[in-house]
Amino acid sequence: MAHQSGDASGGICTHMSRLFLGLQGALLSVALTAGVSAAAPPLLPSVATVHIKDFKYHPPALTVHVGARVTFINDDDEAHTVTATDKSFDSEGLDTGGTWQHVFTKPGTYNYFCELHPYMKATIVVLPAAPAQ
Ligand SMILES: [Cu+2]
């Protein structure tokens, strides 16, 4: 007596879920197509830190996405700067314990150095957009 309507509703269920999956697939392809042509999606908050220690930037090469805020911290006893080779940014002098932040708003490869010790060099690569989650 318990299995009376099992087959019938099972049939409808299968049919409905096929329809539903079909719709989902169609919506997904629309979304994917729209994603390619639409403006960049909202970016996730992103932060990174570069330490300056022993006359070196750590890490010497850093990759972030557009919109990332990078904090530079001088852990040395000497003053240092964070200065873009193309002068697009410049922390000016950072004393011991000094910090400076920069938000990277344009993709590209940014080489920077210390104006007080020009042999100190490092790079930040800014990628176009954070991947969708
Ligand atoms: Cu320096």
CA of 26 to the centre of ligand 1 (A): 57
Backbone angles phi, psi at 104, to 5 degrees: -90, 110
CA of 57 to the centre of ligand 1 (A): 9
For 20-55, write each residue's pLDDT tens digit: 444 444 444 444 444 444 555 555 458 999 999 999
CA of 119 to the centre of ligand 1 (A): 8
pLDDT band at 62 (very low <50, low <70, confident <90, very high): very high
For 106-132, write each residue's pLDDT tens digit: 999 999 999 999 999 999 999 998 666
Give pTM, 2 decimals: 0.65
CA of 68 to the centre of ligand 1 (A): 24
Token pair of 82 as six digits? 């964070």
Domain residue ranges in the chain: 1-38, 47-127
Instruction: Kindly tell me the burial class for residue 72, based on how many C-beta atoms sit within 10 Å of its own C-beta (0-12, 13-18, 19 or more).
Output: buried
CA of 45 to the centre of ligand 1 (A): 29
Q: Which CATH architecture has domain 47-127?
A: Sandwich (2.60)
